């Protein structure tokens, strides 16, 4: 189990790093479930990039900065935007089947989404993520230098501090094999965290079950800074149906003319923002939340019935088919929708090469925080960041050459002082309580009183979970809960420290925006990793 590069996560960011390095490096991809179970595969809308001569890097950058509410890192934003076309070309060259348009300049159909001043979203119908991930996964499986290990849950990083060695670097990680319940030690010259976001910390989310903040929590315990965790993007339009779990109605539906309406058919977005349905997601989500609470509604409706049936079936085949399965014909009926937790704009602090505070440790994709998203992610910038930072991280790793495995023996996982769990109900109960509490107290609209209640309860939950972790053998459910409570604590701490409303963070106690935008950077306490782990 010795590799040049160990990648935690099998989404677009992780696959990009793996395929960029595989010709020269021995790479392992660790997927906690199947290779296509992550959020990248679920992405519907597309990838934002400047692909038309009528558009410009300056305009894409400006749209991103406006959406980010003054908190974007301008240098990082420019870097990612300027490398967008090359990243898209890399996917085209690898055979990703983007939707074509013979009349378009590049030969591919471009759509427009909320917050964008141009049509610049390249897509594969309404299942872009699946088209990209399935294409790259097939290529990764065929590559002789890439080892794919599915159903492997990364537990914790092995660092200098954990080993009592001088310096500040990562040597690999411990991994739980979900099939055998055995814990393995993986040694790696370079480790890349590409484990996605933390949407499952909330009761209602568009994210898959894998989005439990594993990479962010692991990096935090190891001693990395984490930034901007209060900025959780709530997607305005998640399908509202008792038999639909986490099904997203793409931003592109509004981009193609979809209108948000009350049950009586009245539009409400023009009363909230001049950009109406094309306002940024935070504005639309708060507007829906406001109308639902004001009128006691279970949902609102997204109406695109004015578009021809042929247009809807061509552009939104997945959405059309799924809604039809549930008895909703989007060609004739409006779609019931509610907001749901969608994207973690903050994460592990990195530079534009994905480098973290710990040597030989990188964080890419939703796990990392380059500063691109600021206080609110602009639609379809996420997959762009996955590729651009993934490629930059791979280039940085390649530039260091193959240093070889560290010349030390990493300790095996010690289970001599633990036993099998006697009450699994403790884990399931705490999981449910945490997610409901975060939804009720740390949702779209916040107050100090709610945050204080959340902070108090999270403290008690952390103590219970830490005691459970110290005494019983690890399971996937326990590890996910341990990571979620860590991430929940970061979200609450960051939200409580921000005495203003900005972007995705709206506080009734501080409704105004301060003149100067500053990131919320959490600094781990010295020795925290040792206290947080029994090993």
In which residue are the tokens 């409580």 written?
496
Determine the Cα–Cα distance for residues 181 and 509; give it in Å rounded to an integer: 47
Q: What is the DSSP letter of 446?
A: E
Q: Which residues contact 296 (CB under 8 A, 6 or more apart)?
A: none
Catalytic residue among 112, 281, 355, 462: 281
Q: Report CA Rg, the chain.
A: 22
In which residue are the tokens 């013979």 written?
102
* 248 bridge partner residues: 238
Determine the Cα–Cα distance for residues 435 and 73; give it in Å rounded to an integer: 31
Residues in the chain: 535
CB count, 10 Å around CB of 473?
Answer: 14
Helix (H) or strand (E) holding 58: helix 57-67
Q: Which residues contact 432 (CB under 8 A, 6 or more apart)?
A: none
Active site residue 281: yes
Measured in degrees and rounded to the nearest 5, phi and psi for residue 156 equal: -155, 155
| Cβ(380)–Cβ(48) below 8 Å | yes
In which residue are the tokens 């809604």 written?
323
Determine the Cα–Cα distance for residues 268 and 283; give it in Å rounded to an integer: 12
Distances (CA, A) of 282 to 287, 316, 367: 9, 23, 20
Distances (CA, A) of 476 to 45, 120, 154, 173, 246: 31, 40, 10, 16, 21
The token pair at 372 is 């691109």
DSSP alpha helices (H): ranges in 68-176? 74-82, 84-93, 128-142, 160-163
Q: Are strands 300-303 and 259-261 parallel, antiparallel or unpaired?
A: antiparallel
| Cβ(329)–Cβ(316) below 8 Å | no
DSSP secondary structure, 480-528, as one string: HHHHHHHHHHHHHHHHHH--S-BTTBEESSS-SPPSS----EE-PPTTH
| Cβ(434)–Cβ(458) below 8 Å | yes
Measured in degrees and rounded to the nearest 5, phi and psi for residue 59 equal: -75, -40
Closest alpha carbon to 79 in 400, 398, 353:
353
DSSP alpha helices (H): ranges in 223-279? 251-255
CB count, 10 Å around CB of 8?
Answer: 28
Query: Could you give the residue numbers annotated as active site?
Result: 281
């Amino acid at each position: 189990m010795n590799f040049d590069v160990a990648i935690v996560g099998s989404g677009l960011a992780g696959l990009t790093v793996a395929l960029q390095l595989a010709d020269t490096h021995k790479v392992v991809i660790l997927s906690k479930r199947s290779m296509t179970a992550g959020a990248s595969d679920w992405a519907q809308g597309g990838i934002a990039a400047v692909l038309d001569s009528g558009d410009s890097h300056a305009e894409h950058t400006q749209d991103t900065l406006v959406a980010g509410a003054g908190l974007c890192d301008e240098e990082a934003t420019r870097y990612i935007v300027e490398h967008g076309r090359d990243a898209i070309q890399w996917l085209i060259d690898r055979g990703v089947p983007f939707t074509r348009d013979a009349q378009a300049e590049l030969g591919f159909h471009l759509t427009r989404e909320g917050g964008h001043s141009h049509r610049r979203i390249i897509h594969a119908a309404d299942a872009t993520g699946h088209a990209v991930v399935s294409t790259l996964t097939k290529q990764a499986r065929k590559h002789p230098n890439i080892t794919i290990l599915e159903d492997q849950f990364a537990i914790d990083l092995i660092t200098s501090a954990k080993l009592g060695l001088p310096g500040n670097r990562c040597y690999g990680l411990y991994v739980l094999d979900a099939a055998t319940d055995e814990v393995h030690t993986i040694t790696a010259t370079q480790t890349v965290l590409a484990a996605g976001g933390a949407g499952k910390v909330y009761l209602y989310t568009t994210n898959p079950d894998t989005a439990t903040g594993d990479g962010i929590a692991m990096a935090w315990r190891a001693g990395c800074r984490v930034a901007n965790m209060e900025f959780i993007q709530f997607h305005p339009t998640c399908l509202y149906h008792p038999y639909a779990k986490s099904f997203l109605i793409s931003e592109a539906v509004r981009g193609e003319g979809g209108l948000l309406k009350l049950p009586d058919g009245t539009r409400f977005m023009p009363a909230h923002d001049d950009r109406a349905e094309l306002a940024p997601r935070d504005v639309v989500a708060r507007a829906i939340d406001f109308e639902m609470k004001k009128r006691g509604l279970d949902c609102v409706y997204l109406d695109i019935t004015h578009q021809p049936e042929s247009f809807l079936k061509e552009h939104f085949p997945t959405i059309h088919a799924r809604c039809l399965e549930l008895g909703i014909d989007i060609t004739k009926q409006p779609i019931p929708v509610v907001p749901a937790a969608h994207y973690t704009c903050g994460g592990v602090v990195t530079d534009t090469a994905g480098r973290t505070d710990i040597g030989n440790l990188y964080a890419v994709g939703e796990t990392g925080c380059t500063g691109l998203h600021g206080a609110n992610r602009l639609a379809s910038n996420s997959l762009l960041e996955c590729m651009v930072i993934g490629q930059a991280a791979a280039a940085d790793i390649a530039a260091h050459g193959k240093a070889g495995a560290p010349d030390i023996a990493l300790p095996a996982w010690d289970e001599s002082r633990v036993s099998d769990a006697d009450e699994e109900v403790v884990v399931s109960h705490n999981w449910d309580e945490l997610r409901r509490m975060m939804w009720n107290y740390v949702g779209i609209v916040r107050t100090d009183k709610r945050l204080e209640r959340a902070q108090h309860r999270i403290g008690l939950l952390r103590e219970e979970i830490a005691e459970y972790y110290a005494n019983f053998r690890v399971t996937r459910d326990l590890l996910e809960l341990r990571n979620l409570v860590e991430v929940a604590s970061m979200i609450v701490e960051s939200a409580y420290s921000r005495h203003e409303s900005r972007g995705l963070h709206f506080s009734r106690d501080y409704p105004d925006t301060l003149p100067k935008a500053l990131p919320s950077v959490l600094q781990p306490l010295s020795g925290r990793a040792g206290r947080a782990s029994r090993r």
